[in-house]
Amino acid sequence: MEDKKVLIVDDQNGIRILLMEVFSSEGYNTFQAANGKIALEIVNRDKPDLVLLDMKIPGMDGLEILKHIKEIDPEIKVIMMTAYGELDMIKEATDLGALMHFTKPFDIDEMRVAVNMQLRNGAANKCS
């Protein structure tokens, strides 16, 4: 199985480092971006399999980034992260193609299980 790529997009450095460590130890190639511009450059260049995307990022917000990701490649899986309970934004993100969301502070094990489920179940359907 080829290495799956996970892109972590969050303006908080500590969260990016934590998630990079967790998903690197799970065997994924990890990329990180602190803003939408960098995130979209990585999406174009590296074609991640899954993006963990913060809803609230200065400049281009999560919904805007999500729209651009889906324009570049509708197959990329996106899980939203938010520190806020904005149900309208979460609903819009789901309408735009986000799979699920985690509210900060999130349970890192729950997120790990969710990412593994998304990436490994997709691989299980292919011939190994």
Distances in Å between the alpha carbon of 107 and those of 36, 98, 110, 125?
24, 19, 5, 28
Within a domain: 31 = yes
Q: Give dist(CA 76, CA 61) in Å, integer.
A: 18
Within a domain: 128 = no
Say yes or no to pLDDT of 122 above 80: no
CATH number at residue 93: 3.40.50.2300
pLDDT of residue 128: 30
Within a domain: 34 = yes
- The structural domain count of the chain equals 1
Domain carrying residue 85: 5-123
Distances in Å between the alpha carbon of 47 and those of 1, 5, 38, 103?
16, 8, 13, 26
Bridge-based pairing of strands 5-9 and 77-82 is unpaired
Within a domain: 48 = yes
Within a domain: 69 = yes
Three-state SS at 54? strand
Q: What mean pLDDT value characterizes the chain?
A: 91
Q: Give dist(CA 68, CA 62) in Å, integer.
A: 10
Per-residue pLDDT reduced to its tens digit, 62-120? 999 999 999 999 999 999 998 766 778 899 999 999 999 999 899 999 999 999 999 98
Within a domain: 106 = yes
Within a domain: 99 = yes
Output the pTM of the full model: 0.92
Within a domain: 29 = yes
